[in-house]
Amino acid sequence: MGLACDVLVAGSGAGGMAAAVTARKAGLEVLVAEKEPFFGGTTALSGGWLWIPNHPMQKEIGVSDSIEDASTYLLHEAGEKYDPERVNAFLTAGPRMVEFFARETAVKFDPSASFSDYHPEAPGGRPGGRSIVARAYDGRELGKMLMTLRPPLPELTVFGIMIGSGAELVHFMRWSKSVASAAFVARRLIGHGAAMLFHGRGVRLTNGNALAGRLLKSALDAGVRLRASTAVQELVRQNGRVTGAVLRTDRGEERVSARKGVVLACGGFPQDAQRRARLFAHREHFSPAPSGNTGDGLRLAQAAGGRLEESLPNAAAWVPVSRVPRGDGSFGLFPHFIDRAKPGVIAVTSKGLRFVNEGNSYHDFVQALLKTGQTHAWLVTDHRAIRAYGLGFVKPRPLPLAPHLKSGYLLRGETVGELAVRAGIDVALEGAVEKYNAGARMGSDPIFRKGDNAYNRFYGDPDIKPNPCVAPLAQPPFYAVRVVIGDLGTYDGIATNGHAQVLDESKRPICGLYAAGNDALSIMGGNYPGPGITLGPAMTFGWIAGRHLAGQQP
Ligand SMILES: Cc1cc2nc3c(=O)[nH]c(=O)nc-3n(C[C@H](O)[C@H](O)[C@H](O)COP(=O)(O)OP(=O)(O)OC[C@H]3O[C@@H](n4cnc5c(N)ncnc54)[C@H](O)[C@@H]3O)c2cc1C
């Protein structure tokens, strides 16, 4: 006799866990199968931000919003790929999903008034207020299950600490300038040391680790059955309906029947080399997503008659990453979210020329790079800026630069020309820096307009005036870090409707089959409108799927 449940969920990231908790809370028997030994997927590595226009906390922070403005914005962003049915489902259900989790589960969020949409000046855009972040979480609440939660990306921690975005990050950036910040950092270091001693890992979970930890706790509290190291390998169909699956476990294959249906939430295809080669125009690609995200959900859906949509102008959410040498000869990946916007940091191709407003979103940055025909670029800065802000994996003062110079992660030159030669950048870099500096001395960037919009300024340095994103590269030595193309998750995916049901080639729903998270085609049309635009829809469509499976309308 095999296993039986009402709902089988493949994958334990935000999409899968949102569906599982919602369905369980509606009274269904739910089993989550997670292929990897850890729960949490890419979600556990992420920033933990969700983009939810009209979310219930907007009033508290004095932000006004409307479904009309948000759909206008998404129409502008998605262009001809705009899907009114799914966008409307997302915008209507998103705020209710947030209310549900805040009211009934351990998942709690904090709003931000100032984290801007990525194109705030576009029609319907907002300079802040649409994004919420998972509240920091005490991992000890998970008991022994804490050890089954995927740990954060080592490259995004400082001495193993995952620094929370917002106020916590500001304390870490300012710790040598303010007594309060120094005390905060000292407390965090002592707390982390104690946690390592007693628990073998950090227990103050922040960002995406807090989100995945809170979802795991909510699933445990609700009575969701959780199986790690268990992959959904094949779907079982009867009379055109998905009724279960074959699982692959350490002990061999196991059959599970799912009376109401199956939710595919395997996190898209960032680690599927074949699909990547077919859908990405560039070859050299590095994804920080977990190695288990190999596109299983897309293959499972297709084998069950589901339609894949693979024609978005960008098949994934791009991010520039640098490769960080690890002690054992391998490389970690550092995603460059913040440093590019800092004053005194520019980006150039190997031709020595700037190509983008460096403060723009990671997705826009990479698109601009791809337009130049190159697949890598250099972030270039001077001594003042690197000591004030760090650069990529290099931390600000007083942490030393020497290990990074030694490992080859960071290159240095006494002059811009010397740096160019060391890095193999064309000496045109000297002219590019001079040209940038001419405007930067007055706080302007006439060519690329760095610092012109609210999103650029969010990550700038408010102490630098008049433009928090622009300062000359004037103090030698000069430094460079090489960045290549990576992704935060994929966009092309399984065609679904507003109920998160998988559609067949005739655009009819396949009974008993749902997709959420990055397995489902993104509603953003290949664009990246704002902070949290993958996790917001992932949890919302997970919630919609959970309710639909329980016979409830969104
Ligand atoms: C550093 C970083 C920061 C990011 N920050 C943000 C952010 O702040 N906001 C935002 O919106 N997005 C962010 N992203 C992107 C976001 O993390 C992902 O888009 C999101 O987590 C995807 O969620 P998911 O549920 O689709 O998949 P995942 O969270 O990746 O979960 C999928 C799970 O499915 C499992 N799986 C795979 N195949 C099978 C199978 N056959 N059977 C069973 N299980 C299977 C995988 O092992 C994995 O655990 C970030 C990404 C990175 C890397």
Whether 420 and 427 have beta carbons less than 8 Å apart is answered as yes
More confident residue, 184 or 508: 508
Give every CB contact of residue 209 below 8 A, 6+ residues apart in sequence.
Answer: 40, 44, 45, 48, 137, 149, 150, 151, 152, 162
**Nearest-angstrom CA–CA distance, 115 and 454:** 8
Distance 289 CA to ligand 1 centre (A): 7
Find the distance separating the first CA and the last CA of the chain, reported in whole Å.
35
Summarised one tens digit per residue, pLDDT across range 80-115 is 999 999 999 999 999 999 999 999 999 999 999 999
Distance 473 CA to ligand 1 centre (A): 37
- State mean pLDDT over 349-363: 98
Q: Which residue has 């560039």 as its token pair? A: 282
- State mean pLDDT over 532-554: 96
Secondary structure letter of residue 140 according to DSSP: G
Summarised one tens digit per residue, pLDDT across range 431-480 is 999 999 999 999 999 999 999 999 999 999 999 999 999 999 999 999 99
Whether 44 and 295 have beta carbons less than 8 Å apart is answered as no
Residue of 43, 225, 300, 362 with the most ligand 1 atoms within 8 Å of its CB, for mutation: 43
Secondary structure letter of residue 160 according to DSSP: T
Distance 552 CA to ligand 1 centre (A): 26
Atom of ligand 1 at shortest distance to CA of 41?
A: 49
Q: Whose CA is nearest to atom 40 of ligand 1?
A: 231
Residue of 488, 519, 523 with the most ligand 1 atoms within 8 Å of its CB, for mutation: 488
At 175, is the pLDDT very low, low, confident or very high (cuts 50, 70, 90)? Answer: confident
Atom of ligand 1 at shortest distance to CA of 231?
A: 42
Position 1 scores a pLDDT of 54
**Nearest-angstrom CA–CA distance, 142 and 220:** 9
Atom of ligand 1 at shortest distance to CA of 17?
A: 25
Percent of the chain with pLDDT over 90: 90
Percent of the chain with pLDDT over 70: 100
Q: What does the radius of gyration of the chain's CA atoms come to, in whole angstroms?
A: 23
Supply 54's token pair: 């009209």
Distance 210 CA to ligand 1 centre (A): 14
Atom of ligand 1 at shortest distance to CA of 150?
A: 49
Lowest model confidence (mean pLDDT) among 22-26, 177-181, 268-272: 177-181
Position 327 scores a pLDDT of 87
Alpha helices in 348-453 (DSSP H): 362-371, 383-389, 402-407, 416-423, 428-440
Position 256 scores a pLDDT of 98
- State mean pLDDT over 46-65: 97
Residue of 535, 539, 543 with the most ligand 1 atoms within 8 Å of its CB, for mutation: 535
Atom of ligand 1 at shortest distance to CA of 289?
A: 53
Q: Whose CA is nearest to atom 21 of ligand 1?
A: 43
Distance 477 CA to ligand 1 centre (A): 39
Distance 170 CA to ligand 1 centre (A): 26
**Nearest-angstrom CA–CA distance, 523 and 536:** 11
Q: What is the dihedral of CA 16, 21, 24, 26, to 10 degrees?
A: -110
pTM exceeds 0.75, yes or no: yes
Helical packing angle, 84-104 and 67-78, nearest 10°: 130
Distance 283 CA to ligand 1 centre (A): 22
Distance 374 CA to ligand 1 centre (A): 27
Position 58 scores a pLDDT of 98
- State mean pLDDT over 185-193: 85
Distance 324 CA to ligand 1 centre (A): 22
Atom of ligand 1 at shortest distance to CA of 268?
A: 26
**Nearest-angstrom CA–CA distance, 14 and 56:** 20
pLDDT of 236 strictly over 90: yes
Q: Whose CA is nearest to atom 36 of ligand 1?
A: 266
Residue of 225, 266, 362 with the most ligand 1 atoms within 8 Å of its CB, for mutation: 266
Whether 347 and 379 have beta carbons less than 8 Å apart is answered as yes
**Nearest-angstrom CA–CA distance, 390 and 383:** 10
Residue of 17, 39, 46 with the most ligand 1 atoms within 8 Å of its CB, for mutation: 46
- State mean pLDDT over 409-438: 98
Q: What is the dihedral of CA 117, 119, 121, 126, to 10 degrees?
A: -10
Lowest model confidence (mean pLDDT) among 85-89, 186-190, 355-359: 186-190
Lowest model confidence (mean pLDDT) among 172-181, 382-391, 507-516: 172-181
* CB-count burial class (<10 Å; 0-12, 13-18, 19+) for 515: buried
- At residue 528, the 3 state secondary structure works out as coil
Atom of ligand 1 at shortest distance to CA of 10?
A: 43
Ligand 1 proximal residues by C-beta, below 6 Å:
10-16, 33-36, 41-43, 45-49, 153, 208, 231-232, 265-267, 288-290, 292-293, 296, 335, 488-489, 517-518, 532-535, 538
